[in-house]
């Protein structure tokens, strides 16, 4: 049975990948709502002319949709997700799924009360083929037990194209909560950790004092119950790079290591999804551009079967809790 979708918020460009991924699994979408003008709206309407904008979000909430996609301003995502789940809908939300511990607790309570799915789309893992291949290799044990994961997530600023909320700390949640949630997800996933603490966290505005709420650098160190991690986020990608950032993933195992150069190869012809594997018998470059991405198919099945194959609910909760706690620690609040 094809799923019916609705949308609450198109403020972040990740909505395009979220909707396209679900439509590739046969889902349909008839309506979207956004809270005022969104910088993505003209492109969204051109890309999806059959999805109609509505002035009142109740039109989406009261329709017969199965799942609601949310890519609103990060501060607003928790309230919209709770509203959707209370209306009997499952939710896929862009990262970060929430921005405060109070919001996260309200979401936990709502999931427990309603039995709905709250899936945070950590697209740097779910929608990256090299990351998917790394998951396969780790599961097969080709690098032994994972000891540490390092993720580097540089971004281009493109400040002239950014809406006002990108510069307001309370609206986007801070760099470790926002971009960092992607990276913390990967540390937990590849190490298999179900518990972790934040040993170190730092954020700063290095280059733009005119935007006091903006953070262009962040880092954190995690100590997990099955492995450790270091994450670094920044907005320093130079214009010479042919894409938005040279995202890297390093997985250190007891019997080998994996490096993913996700989005490009510096100094080489532009090519995405590169994986490098070294262990006791192999020294390989693996082209991952044809590796299957399973998140959207699994989430579709989860909605239909009430399962957790796309990702454990506990994992989404833990990832967001750690991202928020890292942000708080970096800002001296924890």
pLDDT in tens, 96-106: 999 999 999 99
Q: Which domains does the chain have, with CATH numbers?
A: 4-121 (3.40.50.720), 125-293 (3.30.360.10)
Q: What whole-number distance in Å separates Cα of residue 154 and Cα of residue 163? A: 20
pLDDT at 160: 82
Model-level pTM?
A: 0.97
pLDDT at 89: 98
pLDDT at 161: 85
pLDDT at 334: 64
Residue 96, preceding peptide bond in cis (omega within 30° of 0)? yes
Stretches in the chain below the pLDDT threshold 70: 334
pLDDT at 1: 80
Q: What whole-number distance in Å separates Cα of residue 303 and Cα of residue 56? A: 25
């Amino acid at each position: 049975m094809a799923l019916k979708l609705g949308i609450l918020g198109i403020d972040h460009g990740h909505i395009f990948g979220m909707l396209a991924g679900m439509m590739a699994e046969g889902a349909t979408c008839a309506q979207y709502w956004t809270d005022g003008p969104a910088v993505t709206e003209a492109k969204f309407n051109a890309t999806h002319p059959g999805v109609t904008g509505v002035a009142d979000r109740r039109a989406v909430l009261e329709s017969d949709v199965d799942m609601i996609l949310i890519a609103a301003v990060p501060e607003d995502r928790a309230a919209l997700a709770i509203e959707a789940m209370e209306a009997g809908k499952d939710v896929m939300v862009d990262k970060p799924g929430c921005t405060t511990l109070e919001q996260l607790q309200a979401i936990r309570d709502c999931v427990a009360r309603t039995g709905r799915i709250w899936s945070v789309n950590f697209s740097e893992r779910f929608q990256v083929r090299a990351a998917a291949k790394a998951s396969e290799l780790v599961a097969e044990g080709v690098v032994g037990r994972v000891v540490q994961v390092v993720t580097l997530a540089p971004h281009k600023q493109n400040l002239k194209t950014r809406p006002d909320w990108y510069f307001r700390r309370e609206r986007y949640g801070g760099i470790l909560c926002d971009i960092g949630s992607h990276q913390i997800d990967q540390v937990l996933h590849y190490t298999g950790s179900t518990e972790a603490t934040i040993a170190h966290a730092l954020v700063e505005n290095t280059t733009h004092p005119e935007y006091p709420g903006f953070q262009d650098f962040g880092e954190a160190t995690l100590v997990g119950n099955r492995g450790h991690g270091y994450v670094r986020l920044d907005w320093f990608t130079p214009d010479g790079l042919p894409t938005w950032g040279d995202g890297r993933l390093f997985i250190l195992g007891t019997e080998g290591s994996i490096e993913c150069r996700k989005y490009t190869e510096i100094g080489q012809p532009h090519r995405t999804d590169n994986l490098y594997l070294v262990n006791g018998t192999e020294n390989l470059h693996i082209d991952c551009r044809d590796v299957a991405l399973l998140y959207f198919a699994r989430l579709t099945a989860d909605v239909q079967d009430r399962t957790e194959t796309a990702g454990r609910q506990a994992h989404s909760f833990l990832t967001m809790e750690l991202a928020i706690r890292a942000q708080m620690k970096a800002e001296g609040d924890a």
